Structure 1
Amino acid sequence: MRTLLIFSLILLGGCSPKPLATDISGLWINQAAIDSAAQGRSLLQAIGANGLNLEWNIDTRTGKAQFSNAFEAADGQLLPNASGNWTVDYNGHGTDELQSDGTQLTQLPTKSYPGQVFRRAAQPAPAGARWGTTFRQALNAAYMAGKWKIIEGPGAGNTVEFTADGRLSGLTQNDRYELCLGGGCATQGAGNDTLLLGNVYSGDGFIFVRYGKRMELLKQINLSRPDEIPQLTPGPRQWLLEKQ
């Protein structure tokens, strides 16, 4: 009888299930790219050095995983796998593998892309916001938000204020801005950092150069013909701003 009991316990131990994958539900952002940019360096270089994807939005209950980067957003089916990680299947068009220790989310490297690390967003964007908004607002808060003094240009001596949600005041008639994070705006700008300044009626693109607490906003010169894709190069300086 004693022998049978021991044998039964061994069988039960050998059949014990593997631990379930860590629940990774929530919004995760590429904090490394934000921290790098916040040092006052080139924005596109900071993003390029820290991976392609900028944000993950994951719901393990519904089995959905959405990612966004500088030029696209897509979703896939999320499933736990035998290794204790999670697999994102893009309807047969490739997969990604995710793992988490509860503090950070790691997108494991593939043959085509290096690995990336994400952290939970401290302030997720409101429900219904477009994909990537959480990353963009966290980036704006670290990179642009706050008060800047106009050192040179129209309104010299005045104070300009940028907010994390893309609003702007004190820079002529502009009341909103949007940083270029990659894609077409970066390609047309020949890899220069660019942003859009505007209001409800219109907007203009500028090339900007950030070095520490100072930032130059330069007019864009289009080198292409009217029927060609714009190719923009830095023109005269419109403003020189200094972070306060």
Structure 2
Amino acid sequence: MRPCLSLLLAYGVLAGCASPPSDPNGTWINRAAIEAASEHGSLREALLAYGPNLEWQIDGQRQQASFSNGFELGEGQLVGEDLGRFRIDFYGDYHEYLSLDGDELAQQASGVWPEQRFVRADSVAPADAPPGSAFEQALYRSYLGGTWTIRQGQGEGGLVLFHSDGQVQGLPGAERYALCLAGDCAAMSGEHDSLWLQLGEQGQAWLFEHDGPQLSIFEALNRAPFDEMPDYQKGAQRWLLERRSQ
């Protein structure tokens, strides 16, 4: 009897290990886009390659799911279909399909975009944080984290810290920053990466290039007529920052 019981228990353990996870609750972020941007430098290219969706928030108890692409928020109703597979119903008879694959959440490919994969966020953003904040904070930590030295430009020799909550220390004339992820700012910047620097109530757009341990920040020159959407082109370099070894 005891050997049989042991076999049954062993079978149960193995079966439990083999069973796919079925709880999608929580916040999921597009880690592949973050890793690609951090490794290769171009944020725009990373988002185009692995996006457009950057974050999913799933609340099974309320049967709600929402995604953020850095510009838009899509909110839908969560419907479970099979074990580990879910349908999200949006307004206008529009659907997305999600499935759990190991420790990843996969968004099924569609006629609009390819398959996208997400991992659980390491930390949860505050309840009052805007949608997409978990992805944004993870991106800021990986992409701009660490200590930077101003090699050229105002404040040369000083240290700069980009915090994950959007604060920046040590960069003359700025106390807040935001990376452009999508939307109008991306349309205005064209092929360039852009960020917003702000001091008090005043702020402006800048273009940048992230190349390994170096970050070059350029003036954003508007080539469009005054009555049209801005069309930013790279102007003079204002700062060259170099990141210390992490």
- TM (norm. structure 1) is 0.89
User: Which amino acid in the other structure matches residue 67 of structure 1?
Assistant: F
User: Secondary structure in 2 aligned to 1:23?
Assistant: coil
User: Secondary structure in 2 aligned to 1:136?
Assistant: helix
Structure 1 equivalent of residue 183 of structure 2: 183
User: Which amino acid in the other structure matches residue 242 of structure 2?
Assistant: E
Deviation of 1:20 after TM superposition, in Å, equals 10
Counterpart contact for 1:77–1:91, Cα < 8 Å: no
How has the CA–CA distance of structure 1 residues 20 and 91 changed in structure 2, closer, same or farther, with 3 Å as cutoff? farther
The whole-number CA distance in structure 2 between the counterparts of 1:157 and 1:84 is 53
Counterpart contact for 1:21–1:86, Cα < 8 Å: no
Structure 1 equivalent of residue 33 of structure 2: 33
User: Secondary structure in 1 aligned to 2:134?
Assistant: helix
User: Which amino acid in the other structure matches residue 202 of structure 2?
Assistant: S
Structure 2 equivalent of residue 97 of structure 1: 97
User: Secondary structure in 2 aligned to 1:142?
Assistant: helix
Structure 2 equivalent of residue 131 of structure 1: 131
Structure 2 equivalent of residue 122 of structure 1: 122
User: Which amino acid in the other structure matches residue 130 of structure 2?
Assistant: R
How has the CA–CA distance of structure 1 residues 31 and 144 changed in structure 2, closer, same or farther, with 3 Å as cutoff? same
How has the CA–CA distance of structure 1 residues 20 and 41 changed in structure 2, closer, same or farther, with 3 Å as cutoff? closer
| 1:221 equivalenced with 2:221 (yes/no) | yes
The whole-number CA distance in structure 2 between the counterparts of 1:20 and 1:194 is 41
Structure 1 or 2, whichever has the larger Rg, is 1
Structure 1 equivalent of residue 161 of structure 2: 161
How has the CA–CA distance of structure 1 residues 142 and 29 changed in structure 2, closer, same or farther, with 3 Å as cutoff? same
Structure 2 equivalent of residue 85 of structure 1: 85
Structure 2 equivalent of residue 208 of structure 1: 208
> Structure 1: any 5+ residue segments left out of the alignment?
1-18
RMSD: 1.6
How has the CA–CA distance of structure 1 residues 225 and 102 changed in structure 2, closer, same or farther, with 3 Å as cutoff? same
Counterpart contact for 2:166–2:177, Cα < 8 Å: yes
User: Secondary structure in 1 aligned to 2:217?
Assistant: strand
The whole-number CA distance in structure 1 between the counterparts of 2:83 and 2:147 is 48
How has the CA–CA distance of structure 1 residues 126 and 83 changed in structure 2, closer, same or farther, with 3 Å as cutoff? closer
The whole-number CA distance in structure 2 between the counterparts of 1:53 and 1:229 is 25
Deviation of 1:80 after TM superposition, in Å, equals 0.6
Runs of 4+ in 1 over 3 A off after TM superposition: none
Structure 1 equivalent of residue 197 of structure 2: 197
Aligned residues: 226
Deviations 1:51-102 (A, max 9, x none): 2100000011110001000220110000011475100000333100000035
The whole-number CA distance in structure 1 between the counterparts of 2:84 and 2:192 is 42
Structure 2 equivalent of residue 143 of structure 1: 143
Greater fraction of residues in helix? 2
| 1:51 equivalenced with 2:44 (yes/no) | no
How has the CA–CA distance of structure 1 residues 151 and 88 changed in structure 2, closer, same or farther, with 3 Å as cutoff? same
User: Secondary structure in 2 aligned to 1:171?
Assistant: coil
Structure 2 equivalent of residue 8 of structure 1: none
User: Secondary structure in 2 aligned to 1:124?
Assistant: coil
Counterpart contact for 1:64–1:78, Cα < 8 Å: yes
Deviation of 1:146 after TM superposition, in Å, equals 1.9
The whole-number CA distance in structure 1 between the counterparts of 2:74 and 2:150 is 40
Structure 1 equivalent of residue 173 of structure 2: 173
The whole-number CA distance in structure 1 between the counterparts of 2:125 and 2:112 is 30
Deviation of 1:127 after TM superposition, in Å, equals 1.0
Counterpart contact for 2:20–2:100, Cα < 8 Å: no
Residue range with higher mean Cα deviation, 167-176 or 27-36: 167-176
Counterpart contact for 2:25–2:58, Cα < 8 Å: yes
Structure 2 equivalent of residue 107 of structure 1: 107
User: Secondary structure in 2 aligned to 1:182?
Assistant: coil
- TM (norm. structure 2) is 0.88
